[in-house]
């Protein structure tokens, strides 16, 4: 269902009226397309504190497609990795205060920090302060501008953050704001083709027949992957259409079946490079009115199947070394939601799985494990939500609008990228910086 309010605020009369009434003023977001693959404007590279990464970071930023120099400012990158005391925070203010108003509509602000120290509480305090700063700036920037923080661990060079910076400084991250992403010192490796980084790779997407899953399949295929699209047999016609559209294969399978992992392994005898756990269901009802079967169905599909198939595909070697696992969580799992104790529990469980498995999966298999946590995404399911609740869901974020399935898909593709090995154990919200949750 179209967001008519967003359309109205794009007119001069709508802007005047909403400004006078103090109503939200969302702007149409620039999302990636082959015709407009980059943001429109230039890049400012600023520094606060004493950075040791200035030249290396400049070389990485040169790969983003954003030119340095004059003209409209599409993006600002502030290197605050060297900020270690409150005086350094004054430099953060001094660097950004004069330029915030110059950032163009739909622009990007990315701060680079480092992990808070466990031995230097002064450094830890100011590096943690950057998180509060970034989240607050994201809520006041307006104009469709996103603001994020990338923490670069000690020992990690700027090259480890390249896939993350390319994503956050591009139209692909239009609905990702207020996020904190940690980049480790893992080797990102070399990428032969940044336009088709998954060429020669095989990906499996569950729940791929429609909605977010279909968009994920399309985006991974755009990036070069051969995509196996999995969904329940009841969704067979939609599943076949999705697979045909992406030039992939359809696998009609109930992911909760006892032999699900065996059938997946048989479908990809040469192995998997990317495993996307997107399948999920809701059976909403308040706990006092929720029978056991509604509880069990959601936990089984949304959590148990993820645990079981992940374990089996890792143990059996179907998921190749250097592979990627991306699971779909939800902001409901982070903040809770009325009438969704089962769903919120299952999605919070996905976050716990990611946090626990990520270091071991990488140590044993060189496989990264991350999650995306969508907020209000415009799908057939949200289109059926009552009008007032739907409008509240759309507006209660810093961008004052709902996201699109492609926003989740682009974030998934970034986490699935061969150069994203340094991003591991993260849960990234795709919610326009929702006002709900952390």
Catalytic residues: 343
- CA gap 413, 273 in Å, rounded: 12
Residue 328 contacts by C-beta under 8 Å, 6 or more apart in sequence? 212, 276, 277, 278, 280, 347, 350, 371, 372, 373, 374, 408
Cβ atoms of residues 105 and 142 within 8 Å: no
Report H helices in 32-98. Answer: 54-61, 86-96
Residue 220 contacts by C-beta under 8 Å, 6 or more apart in sequence? 198, 203, 205, 227, 246, 274, 276, 409, 412, 413, 416
Three-class SS of residue 75?
A: strand
Question: Which DSSP state fits 417?
Answer: S
The full DSSP string for 150-193 is EEE-TT--GGGGHHHHHHHTSGGGTT--S-EEEE-S------S-
The full DSSP string for 330-380 is -HHHHH--TT-HHHHHHHHHHHHHHHHHHHHHHHHH--EEEEEEE-SB-SH
- The token pair that represents 220 in the structure block: 């991974």
Residue 366's nearest CA partner among 418, 410, 413 is 418
Number of Cβ within 10 Å of residue 55's Cβ equals 9
| Terminal alpha carbon distance of the chain | 28
Task: Using DSSP bridges, classify how beta strands 103-113 and 146-152 pair: parallel, antiparallel or unpaired.
Answer: parallel
Distance of CA 1 to the CA centre of its chain: 23
What is the rounded (10 degree) CA torsion for 89, 90, 92, 93?
130
List the 180-183 sheet strands across, edge first: 42-49, 73-82, 103-113, 146-152, 180-183
Residue 354's nearest CA partner among 406, 282, 419, 303 is 303
Cβ atoms of residues 328 and 350 within 8 Å: yes
Distance of CA 195 to the CA centre of its chain: 19
- The token pair that represents 276 in the structure block: 């996307």
């Amino acid at each position: 269902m179209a967001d008519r309010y967003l359309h109205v605020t794009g007119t001069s009369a709508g802007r005047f009226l909403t400004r006078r009434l103090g109503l939200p003023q969302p702007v149409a977001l620039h999302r990636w397309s082959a015709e407009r693959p980059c943001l429109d404007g230039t890049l400012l590279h600023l520094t606060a504190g004493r950075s040791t990464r200035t030249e290396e970071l400049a070389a990485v930023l040169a790969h983003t497609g954003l030119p340095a120099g004059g003209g409209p400012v599409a993006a600002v990158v502030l290197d605050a990795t060297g900020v270690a005391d409150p005086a350094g925070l004054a430099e953060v203010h001094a660097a950004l205060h004069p330029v915030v108003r110059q950032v163009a509509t739909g622009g990007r602000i990315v701060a680079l920090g480092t992990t808070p120290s466990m031995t230097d509480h002064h450094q830890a305090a100011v590096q943690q302060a950057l998180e509060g700063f970034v989240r607050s700036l994201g809520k006041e920037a307006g104009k469709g501008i996103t603001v994020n923080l990338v923490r670069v661990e000690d020992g990690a060079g700027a090259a480890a953050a390249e896939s993350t910076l390319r994503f956050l400084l591009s139209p692909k991250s239009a609905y990702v704001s207020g996020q904190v992403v940690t980049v480790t010192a893992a080797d990102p490796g070399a990428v032969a083709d940044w336009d088709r980084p998954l060429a020669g790779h095989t990906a499996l997407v569950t729940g791929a027949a429609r909605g977010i899953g279909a968009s994920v399949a399309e985006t991974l295929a755009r990036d070069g992957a051969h995509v196996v699209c999995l969904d329940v047999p009841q969704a067979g016609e939609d599943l076949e259409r999705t697979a045909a559209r992406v030039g992939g294969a359809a696998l009609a399978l109930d992911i909760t079946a006892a032999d699900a992992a065996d059938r997946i392994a048989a479908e990809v005898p040469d192995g998997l490079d990317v495993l996307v756990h997107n399948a999920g269901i809701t059976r909403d009802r308040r706990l006092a009115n929720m029978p056991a079967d509604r509880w069990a169905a959601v936990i089984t599909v949304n959590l148990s199947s993820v645990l079981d198939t992940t374990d089996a595909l890792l143990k059996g070697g179907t998921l190749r070394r250097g592979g990627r696992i991306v699971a779909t969580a939800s902001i409901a799992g982070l903040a809770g939601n009325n009438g969704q104790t089962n769903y919120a529990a299952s999605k919070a469980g996905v976050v716990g799985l990611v946090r626990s498995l990520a270091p071991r999966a990488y140590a044993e298999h060189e496989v990264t494990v991350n999650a995306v946590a969508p907020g209000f995404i415009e799908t057939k399911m949200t289109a059926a939500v009552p009008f007032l609740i739907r409008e509240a869901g759309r507006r209660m974020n810093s961008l004052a609008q709902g996201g699109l399935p492609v926003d989740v898909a682009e974030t998934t593709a970034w986490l699935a990228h061969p150069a994203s090995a340094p991003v591991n154990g993260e849960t990234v919200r795709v919610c326009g910086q929702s006002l709900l949750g952390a």
